Amino acid sequence: MKKILLICAVVLGFAFNASAQTDTKAEFKFNEEKHDFGKIPQGTPVTTVFEFTNVGAEPLILTEVKPTCGCTIADYTKTPVVKGAKGTIKITYNAAVVSAFNKTIVVTSNAKTPTKYLNIVGEVVAKPAVSSK
């Protein structure tokens, strides 16, 4: 009986220790994960900045920020973001084609949630024709 209790105590000790270690990982808290540009004129690039805070204990390191389309460019904080500090992901969309759009940006990091998905949406509308008088 003592052996069973000892084994249970050891197993529970490992379980609590493992969960305590995972709680120290870095983690994102974004101000928004989806940005709606609304209607934008064709041929006019638009930009938004996704701001995040590291709410974990370890420094947060972004290893890749990859748009799923060549019409979107990403720039991001490349230095480690310490606990409580803020970082940014700047997204620029080239509004070349008239149509609605929904683009995804894949963010890879050392966070507790290692892959995060950000979205930008909107509608590109044709510029009004300029009359030549």
Predicted confidence band of residue 19 (pLDDT cuts 50, 70, 90): very low
The first and second tokens of residue 90, run together, are 């700047």
Q: Is the pLDDT of residue 9 over 90?
A: no
> Does the pTM exceed 0.85?
no
The chain-wide mean pLDDT, for the chain, equals 87
Mind listing the pLDDT tens digit for each residue in 95-117?
A: 999 999 999 999 999 999 999 99
CA 34 to chain centre: 10
Helices (H), the chain: 2-22
Please state the φ and ψ torsions of residue 84, each to the nearest 5 degrees: 85, -10
The first and second tokens of residue 44, run together, are 């006019």
The mean per-residue pLDDT over the stretch 28-48 comes to 95
Beta-bridge mates of residue 115:
108
